[in-house]
Amino acid sequence: MIIVMKADTDANSDEVQRVVELAQRFPGVSTEIHQIQGATRVLTELYLLGSTGTIPTDPFEEFTCVEKVVRITEKFRSIGRHGGDLAAVGFEYNGIKISQDDFHLFPGLCAVDKREHVDTMFAALARHGIQTARAGAYKPRTSPYDFQGLEAECLPYVFELAGHHGIRIVSMEVTHESHLDQIQQALHECGHATGVMVQIGTRNAQNFELLKAVGQQDELPVLFKRGMGITLTESLNACEYVASGGNRRIVFCLRGMKTNFGDPHRNLVDFGHVSVIRRLTRLPVCVDPSHSVGSRSVSPDGLLDIFHATAQGVISGANAVLVDFHPHPEEALCDGPQALRLEELEHFIEDARVVREAYEKRLAIRPEG
Ligand code: PEP
Ligand code: MN
């Protein structure tokens, strides 16, 4: 059972304390308080854990600080919407609001290879007013002989350049718990010139110890990528490991499913699930057209498959797009064949904007429900 407090209720107030005491009077029930810094307000929720099935809701509803009492109806206790009873609050990080109502592009390098490329990339984003980017330092590669990323060595210049070009969030994959410390230390040493959203890649979607580690810190938000060969329910349960650790600042990212049925794309594009994730969870949803499509193939209409896949996600209400760009894709040390060129950035941004507007128009013509 979750007791949602009214907006901006002080979690330390006497009244909230009395709600907690009442809950703890029921045998076998323990409580946990969670405060979520939402996009527009601080939300306080009291979780009642244990056998809560027979606990009545009315004694709690009588408190003036209580907005509502929600019975947990599904397994996704922390990320779930529980039949629509819980709002999708989103979060704000380093001055950027990310929620089911917002929309951001995260273009950038799949893997950082040179300082110069990072500089060129971030400068191009800055020219278009984009403050959110991707840049990979730790790369989980299929072969141990492939480039594994520059790791901690590149963090100082990536963060310094991000700060210089006004990039407020860099999405960056971590493949080991120790990478969190390295990122936090580098952010600290550059005076928090930028922020980092730590990415859990599809290959680590069920690395439960890593999920617990990113969930147990709350400095950095998390972009969780759906597992490429597991069911959606399994991915949502895995994501729940992050949230149940305490960190609720999570973005759920679709990136395609591994199956030959997706050929000739690298993965079967699964962006039809954008609306499903938005319905089942409180999380903002991201799509990654680059790792889904995996090539620069062009459709007869002159648009790249990556643009079309992006549009499929955005028209369904995706809140973020993670997309590979590279100033010289032929020199990229990872995923060059799917990287868009900087000359394509302006068209990509404009195309995504047109589709986002179309989504907003779709909302505007909805029948009153
Ligand atoms: C990436 O975004 O760089 C990446 C490796 O993606 P995925 O985990 O989806 O393969
Ligand atoms: Mn990649």
Residues with CB under 5 A from ligand 2 (ion): 110, 335
pLDDT tens sequence across 92-113: 999 999 999 999 999 999 999 9
pLDDT at 39: 60
* Nearest atom in ligand 1 to 203's CA: 8
Taking alpha carbons only, the member of 277, 304, 296 closest to residue 338 is: 296
Pocket probe for ligand 1: among 197, 288, 293, 325, the residue whose CB has the most ligand atoms within 8 Å is: 288
Q: Do residues 229 and 204 make contact, with C-beta atoms less than 8 angstroms apart? A: no
Domains 2-90 and 103-364 share a fold: no
Residue pair 316/272 in contact (Cβ under 8 Å)? The answer is yes
Ligand 1: which residue has its CA nearest to atom 3?
110
Measured in angstroms, how far is the CA atom of residue 201 from the centroid of ligand 1? 5
Ligand 1 mutation pick, 173, 198, 271, max ligand atoms within 8 A of CB? 173
From the CA of 311, how far away is ligand 1's center (Å)? Answer: 19
Confidence at residue 63, expressed as pLDDT on a 0 to 100 scale? 96
What fold characterizes domain 103-364?
Answer: TIM Barrel (3.20.20)
**What pLDDT is attached to residue 75?**
80
> Can you give the pLDDT at residue 82?
87
Distance (angstroms) between ligand 2 centre and the Cα of 2 equals 39
Predicted pLDDT of residue 158: 98
Count, in order, helices (H) and strands (E) of the chain: 11, 15
pLDDT at 51 (0 to 100): 80
The one-character DSSP state at 336 is: G
Q: Which residues of the chain have pLDDT under 70?
A: 38-39, 369
Per CATH, the homologous superfamily of domain 2-90 is: Phospho-2-dehydro-3-deoxyheptonate aldolase; domain 1 (3.30.70.1140)
pLDDT in the model for residue 313:
98
pTM of the model as a whole: 0.94
Q: Residue 72's pLDDT is what?
A: 84
As for ligand 1, residues whose beta carbon falls within 6 Å of it are 110, 136, 173, 201-203, 225, 255, 288, 291
**Structural domain boundaries of the chain?**
2-90, 103-364
Tell me the two tokens of residue 255: 């990136």
Q: How far is the CA of 229 from the centre of ligand 1 (A)?
A: 14
What tens digit of pLDDT does each residue of 258-276 get?
A: 999 999 999 999 999 999 9
Strands 66-70 and 2-5: antiparallel
The pLDDT of residue 280 is: 94
Calpha distance 183→107 (Å, rounded): 20
